[in-house]
């Protein structure tokens, strides 16, 4: 069972921001911005490549509600998902990073290898 499934099952504690029947949002334990929350489906889905359109539709609304709950819906925020090893996915459970609370830079990609698998 993956770490996010353990959080869904209350086997591992998390600082929960918002929850409904299908989705859960909680603070990232290694924040990259003043506000850094993860939004996940409660049902295990490996990655964005496996998610169906109905789940994504409902997850989009959920993430918009998370942004409102965090009071960043008007000031702006970033939503990121990583897919696969080269995309930086560290946990094999679909999740979206919601980052905000400051003007966000885009410099973290500067360490990417331009000679990589492109």
Query: Does residue 115 sit within a domain?
Result: no
In this structure, what CATH number is given to the domain that contains residue 21?
3.30.428.10
**Structural domain containing residue 87:** 3-104
Give the mean pLDDT of 23-48.
Answer: 96
What pLDDT does 118 receive?
Answer: 46
What pLDDT does 108 receive?
Answer: 57
Give the count of domains, the chain: 1
Task: Answer yes or no: is pLDDT of 12 > 90.
Answer: yes
Query: Does residue 113 sit within a domain?
Result: no
Give the residue numbers marked as catalytic.
95
Give the mean pLDDT of 99-113.
Answer: 75
Rounded to two decimals, what is the model's pTM? Answer: 0.88
Residue 15: CB atoms within 10 A of its CB come to: 10
Query: Does residue 57 sit within a domain?
Result: yes
Query: Does residue 109 sit within a domain?
Result: no
The CA dihedral of 53, 57, 63, 68, to the nearest 10 degrees, is 170
Task: Answer yes or no: is pLDDT of 115 > 80.
Answer: no
| Per-residue b or e along 78-112, where b marks 16 or more CB atoms closer than 10 Å to that residue's CB | eeeebeeeeeebeeebbbbbbbbbeeeeeeeeeee
Query: Does residue 61 sit within a domain?
Result: yes
């Amino acid at each position: 069972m993956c770490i996010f499934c353990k959080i869904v099952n209350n086997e591992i504690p998390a600082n929960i921001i918002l929850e409904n029947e299908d989705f859960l949002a909680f603070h990232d334990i290694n924040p990259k911005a003043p506000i850094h929350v993860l939004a996940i489906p409660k049902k295990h889905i490996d990655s964005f490549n496996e998610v169906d359109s109905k789940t994504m539709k409902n997850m989009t609304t959920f993430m918009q509600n998370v942004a409102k709950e965090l009071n960043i819906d008007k000031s702006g925020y970033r939503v990121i998902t990583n897919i696969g090893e080269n995309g930086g996915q560290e946990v094999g459970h679909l999740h979206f990073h919601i980052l905000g609370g400051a003007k966000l830079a885009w410099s973290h990609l500067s360490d990417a290898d331009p000679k990589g698998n492109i």
